[in-house]
Amino acid sequence: MNFATDPMNSIIEIFRGWLLSLGVSSSWAQFILFVIGAGILATIPMLITLGLIWAERKLLGRIQDRLGPNRVGPWGIFQTMADMVKIFTKELITPKNADRIPYNLAPILSVAGVLALWAIIPFGISIIGVNLNVGVLYLIAVGGFGTLGFMLAGWGSNNKYALLGAFRAIAQLISYEVPMAISLLIPVMFSGSLGMADIVASQDVWYIVLSPVAALVFFIATIAEVGRSPFDLLEADSELVSGFNIEYSGLKFGMFYVADFLHAFTVSLLFTTIFLGGWRGPLAAQYPWLGFVYLLIKTVIVWFLSVLIRGSMPRIRIDQMMFFNWKVLTPLSLGLLVTTALVGKAIPAQQTALRVIGLLIMNGLLLLITNFIWRAVSSSKVRPVVTAEPYGGQTTGIKEVSS
């Protein structure tokens, strides 16, 4: 290991040597390194968010034929900085009727839930917070943190629209956690480990190639988990005023804003890590910082796709959302699990090409069957169109017409 190939670990080793030479015992030196490492790793995402908010606003602006932020600095790049300075000096209004503890805890929890995911993401072969041996379970568990934040915000605000938003958020987030967890089983099956670094290390063939349907299910479920368009029912402005965060002002509202934008980027990072080979690429094993660059490029592509979806999709209704989750995604992911297990056992792992082709055919067939069933089910269930009879006719009341 030398500085050119692995600058981060070299710095850590130099620092550890310096601590030991001061007479600090090795376990305390490890503890100090942990605190510094965790502090840096948790601060970076907060700073990245400043850039993310600007980039997303700019992209959405271009999608909607606007300019987006363009006043502060070149291309409006410092807009978020200005917003942040402004939001720091805004009054934090706490409604008199609010339940203080959940009300104040909610913004903290929703940011912490997103930040905590960064602890297990491998940024390079040797750049990782910690390769937890139950990484995927940790991911699912910590993902529930943010949901708790929404629930506390909605309940603590003492506001009917906020409460409705929170109900919707819970119904949506827990529902979409089911197909997400099942689609995560498939990378675990292929890699034989729950650790994120092991999942990346075992991706000689990217898992999106081995199981595109699992990747698709995971992508859709994560968009729903983040609560963005087309699944942004929890903050549907036209129905719920603003959703769970109506009563918040100042930086407490800002924290929800940060959590939202950061979560979108974080799930892109997770998608890249689990399905797109993470840091893997040419020469990435020798030069860990190169792996970091690869990871960043892939993540930005996935993130760009999710922004594109946000900018182009209308919001769906809550019954459509539940229909789509429980009657399409969940059976699809369960079927995928069963067929992948069978095909994976039928073709031994050594014959990579045959295995890829077999799994691809199976995935394609599954999608076709799902599409066929979906068409059949959704065409049999047509909502009655309610029309009013023209005035002067025999019946003046409202009549149901099934089209």
Partner 1 sequence: MLSDWLYIGIFLFIALLLPAVAIGLAAILSPKKPNKIKDLTYECGLETVGETWVQFKAQYYIFALVFLIFDVETVFLFPWAVAYQKVTLFGVVEAIIFVAILLAALVYVWRKGALEWF
Site for partner 1 in 315-344 (CB under 8 A): 318-319, 322-323, 326-327, 330-331, 334, 337-338, 341-342, 344
Cβ neighbourhood burial of 313 (10 Å; 0-12, 13-18, 19+): middle
What separation in angstroms does the CA of 259 have from each of 121, 164, 254, 295, 334?
Answer: 18, 20, 9, 21, 31
In whole angstroms, how close is the CB of 350 to partner 1 at the nearest point?
Answer: 12
252 binds partner 1 per the rule CB under 8 A: yes
Q: For partner 1, which is the closer residue by CB, 169 or 302?
A: 169
308 binds partner 1 per the rule CB under 8 A: no
400 binds partner 1 per the rule CB under 8 A: no
Residues 6+ apart with CB under 8 A from 36: none
The Cβ-side half-sphere exposure at 43, using a 13 Å CA radius, reads 6
In whole angstroms, how close is the CB of 369 to partner 1 at the nearest point?
Answer: 14
5 binds partner 1 per the rule CB under 8 A: no
Q: What distance in Å separates the CA atoms of residue 403 and residue 400, rounded to the nearest whole number?
A: 10
**Tokens 């050119």 sit at which residue?**
4
Q: For partner 1, which is the closer residue by CB, 213 or 307?
A: 213
Q: For partner 1, which is the closer residue by CB, 182 or 269?
A: 182
What DSSP designation does 388 have? E
Helix, coil or strand: residue 401: strand
Peptide bond preceding 230 in cis form (omega within 30 of 0): yes
Q: For partner 1, which is the closer residue by CB, 167 or 287?
A: 167
In whole angstroms, how close is the CB of 102 to partner 1 at the nearest point?
Answer: 12
192 binds partner 1 per the rule CB under 8 A: yes
Q: For partner 1, which is the closer residue by CB, 54 or 103?
A: 103
Residues 6+ apart with CB under 8 A from 346: 358
268 binds partner 1 per the rule CB under 8 A: no
Give the x-and-dash track for 50-69 against partner 1 (CB under 8 A): --------------------
From the list 214, 236, 246, 290, which residue makes contact with partner 1 (rule: CB under 8 A)?
246
